[in-house]
Structure 1
Amino acid sequence: MALIGRRDGRNFGYGRQMSYAGSQALKELFDGGHFATVKAHSDRWRAFVRWCRSEDGPGYNDARQIDLQTLHNYANYLRQQIQQGDICIATAQNRLSSVNRTLAALRGDQDVRLPSPSQALGEHRANVRKRSPDGQERQHLHRVIELLIEQNHNRVAAIALLARETGMRLRETVLADLPRLHREATRFGRINIQDGTKGGRSGAFAPRWIDANNGVKAALQLALSVSPNASRNLLARSESYVVFLRDVVRPAREILHQQGIKGLHDLRAAYACERYEQLTTHVPPVNGGLSHHIDREVDLGARQQISYELGHSRIDVVSAYIGGRS
């Protein structure tokens, strides 16, 4: 559907639905070619449209309503997703860049755009962690867990402990099938992390087994004890994931910050640091370790294992958790 006439119709004349309009404008911009590029931009544009129509968004379904403040609000939302560990910085920056590109295609101008996605996010792509993650000291973490429970943030306490003991992402801790994991821990001495995982792995249900030590079993017990009635995970039957993040997780973040834990993603990094030390008997680089003193095969083997346990497909990603090889 090529644009006919003026751009003053709904979605600048490209159709009634914002997601469809964006895809059509991109196809026209690239003159029917560059299929992979058009698809990538279209997928990210659809993610933006879903946010627009969600409880967190402005409720728009007409691109003419989008202004600069809308884009800044979306950047704030993506920043929260980064802090929660749901997406990485690169994904957020790519989504903002695609929104810029699609809006320009729809509007026919550059009047509504974020000049610098990284600046708007307040984040910069950093493939190597420089700061030692919070939550590595268990005694301190357990005090934080107790404080969360005292202030009726029971489910967030369970999330924090699961993230630290299993290396799960936030979404994975919330959607984990707790009875299944408890059964696996009891029968096999290990658990297979499957629920809420990213589809970017080689199959959304690729095996991801980790040993169920006493810490993992304790985390599962806490999660089971605070799981809502008739639920297999940490969500109530009538509760959506988005609402849970807004109404349950977000109010507890201030307590975590006050107690010196920057975010739940740091607890995942703390897990990775501990696993590196267990696998190599050396302190990870981000904690002051000198990886060039470690046999290269041992270092790479540890990074490969940690990558698997965290649900990644590339070992270079592990540097964002434990630091680079010096």
Structure 2
Amino acid sequence: MALVGKRDGRNFGWGRQLSYAGPQALRDIYGGGHYSTVKTHSDRWQAFVRWCRSEDGPGVNDARQIDRQTLADYALHLRNLVEVGELAVATAQNCLSSVNRTMAALRGDQHVKLPSPSKALGMQRTIVRTTAPQGQDRQQVKCIAGILREIHPRAAAILLLARATGMRLREAVLADLIRLNREANQLGRINIQEGTKGGRRGATASRWIEVDEHILEALRYAKQVTPYGSRNLIASTETYISFQRDTIRPSRQLLKLHNLKGFHELRAAYACERYEKITGHLAPVFGVICGRPHRNIDRRARLQLSYELGHGRIDVASAYIGSVV
């Protein structure tokens, strides 16, 4: 992407509107690629812009007027949202990190940033799961899926895919079901690629999962409810956003009515089940005092889970299965 104006002009030359300039600068710094990362940072930047224009914000529309105090005030705003339960600590930290990244892209330097989002918020995010995940009981999940089939059959497919494979919601929605069914039948394993987080896809970011009867069943059903002419669960007349609005949101309410927090909870259920299969022991989150696996076996299991869930760090596994004290 090229500069819209002069480098020393409004929004450092990226456009007259703060909301437009941020995404433009991000696309440039990522070389026109990394679409998912750019989209994520841009969405969080728009939230910052809305705050800037609100009564509580500084009322600026030019990145040249944003200084460290502006960012500190925004951190205080996010902290207040966390304290009243409207925002998670992790989400608030991510918002500040994205603002830091976007400001650096706009300015071309690191002079205006919050060095530590966690310190700015005065809060630490919790990444270790301490409660057993819902959705462990496959029969319960099948019952919920049966109810969903009558109202939102594609949401039922997402539910089954998430529990069987540990897919994220977006991954299940955008998965190439024709390819996955072919891989499952011919290779006995599937490679999760579409909808992955942070642009992790392709030959250099393979994510193969061994197939079992639960995965085969979930894939068969998902293929049955795939809209005509589509390779995934979104019809040609829909967008991802409209699908979320019309299908995912109403389905979430039904999940909660049946004691399931949401689709993401099933990733943790999958992880705990896989941990037990790999180690022969229950996941630490279940609070088992005796019979723990050797630390080398535990580490090997966490590495495998990190790979299967599409993360690049072993420590992330603790958010799904808990930590050994």
Instruction: Verify same fold: TM over 0.5.
Output: yes
Q: Report runs of 4+ in structure 1 exceeding 6 Å deviation.
A: 10-14, 43-46, 69-72, 100-103
Query: Residues 319, 204 of structure 1: CA spacing in aligned structure 2 closer, same or farther, 3 A cutoff?
Result: farther
2:228, 2:258 → 1: CA distance?
A: 30
Deviations 1:103-139 (A, max 9, x none): 9xx9xxxxxxxxxx99xx9x96211101111100011
Deviations 1:164-204 (A, max 9, x none): 00011111000000011111111111111111112364868
Alignment of 1:302-321 (within 5 A): 302-321=301-320
Q: What secondary structure does 2:205 align onto?
A: coil
Paired amino acid for 2:304:
Q
Assess if the C-alpha contact under 8 Å between 1:45 and 1:99 holds in 2.
no
Range with greater deviation from structure 2 (197-206 or 158-167): 197-206
Q: Which residue of the partner structure matches residue 113 of structure 1?
A: none
Matched, 1:225 2:224: yes
Q: Which residue of the partner structure matches residue 210 of structure 1?
A: 209
Query: Residues 19, 292 of structure 1: CA spacing in aligned structure 2 closer, same or farther, 3 A cutoff?
Result: farther
Q: Which residue of the partner structure matches residue 240 of structure 1?
A: 239
TM-score (norm 1): 0.71
Matched, 1:278 2:277: yes
Paired amino acid for 1:295:
H
Deviations 1:259-318 (A, max 9, x none): 000111110100000000001110101112348832111111111111111111111100
2:318, 2:163 → 1: CA distance?
A: 18
Q: Which residue of the partner structure matches residue 128 of structure 2?
A: 128
Percentage identity across aligned positions? 52
- Alpha-carbon RMSD across the aligned residues, in angstroms, is 4.4
2:181, 2:262 → 1: CA distance?
A: 26
Q: What secondary structure does 2:235 align onto?
A: coil
Q: Which residue of the partner structure matches residue 148 of structure 1?
A: 148
1:198, 1:300 → 2: CA distance?
A: 23
1:24, 1:178 → 2: CA distance?
A: 33
Query: Residues 3, 270 of structure 1: CA spacing in aligned structure 2 closer, same or farther, 3 A cutoff?
Result: same
Paired amino acid for 1:239:
E
Q: Which residue of the partner structure matches residue 263 of structure 2?
A: 264
Structure 1's unaligned 5+ residue stretches are 5-9, 26-35, 37-42, 80-87, 107-116
Assess if the C-alpha contact under 8 Å between 2:128 and 2:322 holds in 1.
yes
Q: Which residue of the partner structure matches residue 173 of structure 1?
A: 172
Query: Residues 64, 268 of structure 1: CA spacing in aligned structure 2 closer, same or farther, 3 A cutoff?
Result: closer
2:171, 2:267 → 1: CA distance?
A: 11
Query: Residues 2, 309 of structure 1: CA spacing in aligned structure 2 closer, same or farther, 3 A cutoff?
Result: closer
Deviations 1:239-267 (A, max 9, x none): 11122112210011111001000111110
Alignment of 1:293-304 (within 5 A): 293-304=292-303
Query: Residues 63, 129 of structure 1: CA spacing in aligned structure 2 closer, same or farther, 3 A cutoff?
Result: closer
Q: What secondary structure does 1:133 align onto?
A: coil
Paired amino acid for 1:18:
L
Give how far 1:67 is off. Answer: 4.7
Assess if the C-alpha contact under 8 Å between 1:197 and 1:204 holds in 2.
no
Assess if the C-alpha contact under 8 Å between 1:162 and 1:173 holds in 2.
yes
Query: Residues 203, 17 of structure 1: CA spacing in aligned structure 2 closer, same or farther, 3 A cutoff?
Result: farther
Assess if the C-alpha contact under 8 Å between 1:176 and 1:194 holds in 2.
yes
1:293, 1:12 → 2: CA distance?
A: 56
Give how far 1:3 is off. Answer: 6.5
Paired amino acid for 1:142:
K
Report how many residues are paired.
Answer: 280
Assess if the C-alpha contact under 8 Å between 1:44 and 1:99 holds in 2.
no
Alignment of 1:86-97 (within 5 A): 90=90, 93-96=93-96
Assess if the C-alpha contact under 8 Å between 1:178 and 1:224 holds in 2.
yes
Q: Which residue of the partner structure matches residue 321 of structure 2?
A: 322
Alignment of 1:24-63 (within 5 A): 47=40, 49-50=42-43
Give how far 1:50 is off. Answer: 4.8
Give how far 1:51 is off. Answer: 7.0
2:244, 2:238 → 1: CA distance?
A: 10
Q: Which residue of the partner structure matches residue 163 of structure 1?
A: 162
Paired amino acid for 1:94:
N
Paired amino acid for 1:95:
C
